[in-house]
């Protein structure tokens, strides 16, 4: 713009200093209020309402302090001067708006806006404006900071004669170039400074249904999904802070990779999980074969699991004689069969239907017993009344031998026990999967039934539906009832203590002192638990509850979900408000997504919105062109995203050349001498790098990657597109790659 950059930096530094001063005031005020809240209630005389108010405000202040402290990481990153009237006019009469990670208002001057939260509607032109569509923006400025120091400014003139050059619909090209040239660190960087127009439209989409975001490698699918979470939490905070947000990723490495993005955006109240860890209480520790993954991911498992549960609903082979108060009572197979039929027709989950089974069988036994002891010796009608039969029913229901018989014919089940017994037994598999071939049955078997793997979570979740599990709220209610009983006992102890004050008996006084030392404290503790209630955050409660209904669900690498995993996912989203990001060309799961419409049809029909990201911001052109050769093998009609970055050529080496060059060919991730992140990828670890990016990628034996899995082409496509700087190929190449390299 012709101005001295040093003067521009100095001017921006003065403004940024003012922003941090205001932020420090906010932090100090929050700390003062936090101290006051902690001092407001006397712990020795707790008042229930006061405790609740204090707890609520205390946690609210802690959350606010977390947001304020995190906001200091790149507090402000941009500025736009808009040709419109506003609160902060420039000398030229433009409206000047500073954009950052949170909003700040001045205390004086009618709370004039000092800094716009990037999610606020007035900040949107910062992301939408291009030279072709300036959105009223005359100048867009990018501010680069280190800590609280402004280190650089960069201006783009977006309207008027001296405009920049727009390429592939990309705005903020200088800032984007700077971001892409930075060394990878093993943690995902925020794109909040460089969000592009097509990404912004997805982030702010107000659709309240299922939304699919499809895009090739390097198009920013993950970053868009995470910034959409932050945007939704900003615009629907009251609802989502209560209902919670679930973010699912493909593996724990990926979750660690993205873990810093949301806190940097000022949001920490979400549940991050892999699909394998989504069922509470189970942690996958074992790997499994491709065949097992395909079978366990298929919808055929619904019937197999139902059959596995029905196998516990057994019939006796012969009559059973029970001794009831010195009387012999015969239980026939037909009695049990009738009770089982009644229970199954109730269409309740197994454990709930057990009550129907028990009730019907006990009623049959009561009638049989009544016929035996109430028969009129003169041949008249039974001498027992309905009330007498009801009493027999109640007595039989409490009889140990009757309860044992019910347990053997319709036991109460647990999903983990059922699945472990199924997968660890060829006999049980043969019964449950009798309609399937030997290969399918063999694929399900494993030596140790409890050796949990990632695909087991969806099966456990399905079993929880088939079997029925206690509602966590009802468990909490029973715990509260227990607390009340303990409080009553403690209060009785206090009554003893009070009455002992007037006695001269030393033994009574000694007993009272013991009671006061334990029960008084216990009563106070229990009272606090009872009155204040569950102190866990929404995220903590949601993670522990397999029935939790999330307000919004984000799934990254959604193309990996199997039919069984889709069923598990939609149980957690009864509102069907989801953001699904993925690319079928990168599907590594043998039971994963080939077509979005086909996968989603059982749950939402055709009622989903489909966005497509068209620009590859990450991959240098030479690498992208090579990867496109793999894409055409996967789907000849697929159109690759437009790569906009220049880069070095791809290097091809034989194993001998690599050894001569002293290449470290150990699979995994390391840093090079210049601090850049390098990944060595083989057929063994290719699925572990899904969703990640590295400065330098070394792919060993691409031909073997293709041959190792039915999804080998997709896995190779993933491997080739992880690099942001250089790609090295070592070993045998498929013919189409040799042709692409010339």
| Per-block mean pLDDT, blocks of 10 residues, the chain (742 long) | 74 93 89 82 61 73 75 84 80 87 80 87 85 84 88 82 41 49 52 77 92 93 88 88 88 75 65 92 91 94 97 95 86 96 96 96 91 74 82 91 95 96 97 93 94 96 92 52 52 51 44 38 41 63 88 95 96 95 93 94 94 91 94 93 85 87 85 85 91 91 95 95 93 94 84
d(C-alpha 454, C-alpha 160), whole Å: 56
pLDDT at 44: 59
Per-residue pLDDT tens over the stretch 179-190: 545 554 555 555
The beta-strand segments (E) located in 531-604 are: 552-555, 578-582
Rg (CA), the chain: 33
Task: Tell me how far apart the alpha carbons of residues 347 and 468 are, in angstroms, rounded to a whole number.
Answer: 11
CA-to-CA distance for 353 and 339, rounded, in angstroms? 10
The answer to whether the 196-277+549-607 and 621-741 domains have the same CATH topology is: yes
- Give CA–CA dist 119/133, Å, rounded: 20
pLDDT, residue 42, reads: 61
Exposure of 98 by Cβ count < 10 A (0-12 exposed, 13-18 middle, 19+ buried)?
buried
219 is in an annotated binding site: yes
What are the pLDDT digits (tens) for 137-159?
Answer: 998 888 888 889 999 888 888 87
Half-sphere exposure (CA, 13 Å, Cβ side) for 217?
32
Contact in structure between 502 and 458 (CB atoms under 8 Å) = no
* DSSP string of 257-301, one letter each residue: HHTTHHHHTT----EEEEGGG-STT--------HHHHHHHHSTHH
CA atoms within 13 A on the CB side of 496: 19
DSSP letter string over 171-196? -SHHHHHHHHHSPP-SSPPP-TTT--
- 729 Cβ contact partners less than 8 Å away, ≥ 6 residues apart: 650, 651, 652, 653, 699, 702, 737
**65: which 2 tokens?**
């302090």
For 26, the enclosing helix (H) or strand (E) is helix 5-40
Q: Is 136 annotated as a binding residue?
A: no
**SS3 sequence of 395-456:** HHHHCHHHHHHHHHHCCCCCHHHHHHHHHCCHHHHHHHCCCCCHHHHHHHCCCCCCCCCCCH
What is the phi/psi pair of residue 452, to 5°? -65, 140
Return the exposure string of 69-85: e unless at least 16 CB atoms fall within 10 Å of the residue's CB, then b. ebbeebbbbbbbbbeee
Alpha-carbon distance of 156 to 163, in angstroms, equals 7
Tally Cβ neighbours within 10 Å of residue 549.
Answer: 13
User: In CATH, what number does 196-277+549-607 get?
Assistant: 3.40.50.300
Tokens encoding 86: 């506003």
Q: Is 659 left (phi over 0), alpha (psi -120 to 50) or beta?
A: alpha
Q: Is the dihedral of CA 261, 263, 269, 273 positive or negative?
A: positive
Question: What does the CA dihedral 116, 118, 124, 125 come to, rounded to 10 degrees?
Answer: 70
Give CA separation, 164 vs 132, 138, 172, 711, in Å.
10, 12, 10, 43
Q: Name 249's bridge partners.
A: 274
pLDDT of residue 649: 77
Interior angle at CA 643, CA 137 and CA 649, nearest 5: 135
Q: Which pair of structure tokens corresponds to residue 456?
A: 């087991």
Q: CB of 519 within 8 A of CB of 494?
A: yes
Q: Are 93 and 80 in contact (CB under 8 A)?
A: no
Hey, what are 490's tokens?
């403690």
215 assigned binding-site residue: yes
Rounded Cα distance, 735 and 400, in Å: 73
- 221 labeled part of a ligand binding site: yes
Domain residues of the chain, as ranges?
5-165, 196-277+549-607, 290-309+414-467, 314-409, 470-496+518-545, 621-741
Q: Is residue 415 part of an annotated ligand binding site?
A: no
Residue 705 contacts residue 699 (beta carbons within 8 Å): yes
- What was the pLDDT predicted at 598? 95
Q: How far apart are CA 701 and CA 728, in angstroms?
A: 11
> Is 218 within any annotated ligand binding site?
yes
Do 121 and 97 form a contact (C-beta atoms < 8 A)?
Answer: no
- The torsion region of residue 111 among left (phi > 0), alpha (psi -120 to 50) and beta comes to left
Using CA atoms, how far apart are residues 290 and 693, in angstroms rounded to an integer? Answer: 25
CATH number of 621-741: 3.40.50
- Evaluate whether 458 touches 299 at the Cβ level (below 8 Å): no
In order of 7, 62, 70, 145, 157, the CA distances from 151 in angstroms are 12, 31, 20, 5, 20
Cβ atoms < 10 Å from Cβ of 175:
20
Whether 216 has a binding-site annotation, put simply, is yes
Looking at residue 517, its pLDDT comes to 35
- Bridge partners of 98, per DSSP, are 79
Record the pTM. Answer: 0.78
- Main-chain phi, psi angles of 268, to 5 degrees: -125, -5
Strand order in the sheet with 137-146: 104-105, 113-117, 95-100, 76-82, 137-146, 149-157
């Amino acid at each position: 713009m012709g101005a001295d950059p040093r003067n521009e930096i100095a001017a921006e530094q003065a403004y940024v200093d003012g922003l941090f001063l205001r932020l420090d005031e906010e932090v100090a005020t929050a700390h003062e209020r936090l101290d006051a809240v902690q001092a407001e209630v006397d712990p020795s005389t707790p008042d229930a309402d006061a405790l609740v108010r204090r707890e609520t405000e205390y946690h609210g202040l802690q959350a606010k302090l977390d947001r304020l402290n995190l906001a200091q990481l790149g507090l402000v990153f941009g500025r736009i001067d808009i040709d419109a009237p506003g609160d902060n006019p420039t000398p030229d009469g433009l409206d000047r708006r500073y954009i950052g990670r949170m909003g700040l208002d001045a205390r004086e001057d009618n709370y004039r806006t000092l800094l716009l939260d990037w999610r606020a509607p007035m900040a949107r032109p910062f992301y939408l404006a291009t030279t072709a569509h300036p959105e009223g923006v005359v100048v867009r400025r990018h501010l680069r900071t280190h800590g609280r120091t402004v280190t650089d400014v960069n201006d783009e003139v977006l309207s008027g004669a001296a405009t920049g050059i727009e390429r592939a619909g990309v705005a903020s090209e200088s800032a984007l170039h700077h971001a892409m040239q930075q060394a990878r660190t093993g943690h995902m960087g925020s794109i909040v400074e460089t969000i592009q127009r097509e990404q912004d439209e997805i982030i702010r989409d107000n659709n309240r249904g299922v939304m699919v975001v499809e895009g090739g490698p390097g198009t920013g699918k993950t970053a868009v999904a995470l910034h959409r979470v932050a945007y939704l939490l900003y615009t629907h905070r009251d609802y989502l802070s209560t209902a919670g947000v679930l973010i699912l990723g493909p593996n724990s490495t990926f979750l660690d990779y993205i873990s810093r993005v949301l806190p940097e955006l000022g949001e920490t109240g979400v549940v991050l999980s892999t699909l394998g860890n989504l069922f509470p209480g189970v942690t996958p520790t074992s790997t499994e074969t491709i065949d097992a993954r395909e079978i366990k991911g298929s919808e055929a498992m619904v019937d197999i699991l139902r059959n596995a549960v029905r196998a516990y609903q057994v019939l006796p082979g012969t009559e059973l004689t029970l001794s009831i108060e010195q009387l012999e009572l015969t239980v026939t197979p037909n009695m049990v069969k009738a009770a089982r039929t009644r229970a199954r027709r109730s269409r309740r989950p197994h454990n709930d239907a057990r009550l129907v089974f028990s009730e019907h069988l006990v009623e049959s036994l009561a009638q049989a017993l009544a016929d035996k002891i109430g028969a009129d010796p003169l041949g008249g009608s039974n001498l027992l009344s309905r009330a007498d039969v009801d009493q027999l029913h109640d007595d039989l229901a409490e009889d140990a031998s009757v309860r044992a018989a019910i347990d053997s014919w319709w036991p109460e089940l647990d999903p983990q026990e059922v699945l472990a017994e199924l997968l660890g037994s060829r006999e049980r598999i043969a019964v449950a999967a009798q309609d399937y071939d030997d290969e399918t049955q063999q694929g399900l078997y494993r030596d140790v039934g409890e050796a949990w793997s990632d695909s087991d979570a969806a099966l456990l979740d399905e079993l929880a539906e088939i079997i029925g599990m206690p509602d966590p709220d009802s468990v909490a209610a029973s715990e509260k009832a227990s607390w009340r009983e303990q409080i009553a006992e403690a209060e009785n102890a206090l009554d003893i203590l009070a009455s002992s004050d007037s006695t001269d008996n030393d033994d009574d006084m000694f007993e009272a002192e013991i009671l006061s030392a334990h029960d008084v404290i216990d009563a106070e503790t229990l009272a606090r638990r009872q009155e204040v209630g569950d102190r866990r955050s929404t995220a903590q409660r949601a993670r522990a509850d397999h029935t939790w209904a999330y307000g919004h669900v984000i799934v990254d690498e959604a193309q990996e979900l199997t039919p069984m995993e889709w069923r598990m996912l939609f149980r957690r989203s009864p509102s069907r408000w989801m953001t699904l990001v993925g690319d079928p060309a990168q599907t590594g799961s043998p039971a994963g997504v080939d077509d979005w419409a086909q996968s989603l049809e059982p749950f939402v029909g055709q009622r989903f919105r489909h966005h497509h990201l068209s620009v590859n911001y990450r991959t240098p052109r030479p690498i992208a062109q090579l990867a496109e050769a793999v894409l055409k093998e996967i789907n000849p009609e697929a159109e690759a995203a437009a790569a906009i970055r220049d880069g070095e050529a791809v290097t091809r080496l034989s194993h001998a050349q690599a050894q001569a060059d002293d290449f470290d060919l150990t699979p995994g991730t390391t840093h090079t001498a210049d601090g850049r992140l390098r990944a060595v990828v083989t057929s063994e670890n290719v699925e572990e790098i899904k969703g990640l990016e590295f400065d330098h990628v070394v792919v060993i034996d691409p031909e073997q990657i293709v041959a190792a899995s039915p999804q080998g082409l997709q896995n190779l496509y993933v491997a080739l597109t992880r690099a942001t700087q250089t790609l090295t190929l070592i070993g045998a190449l498929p013919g189409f790659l040799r042709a692409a390299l010339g």
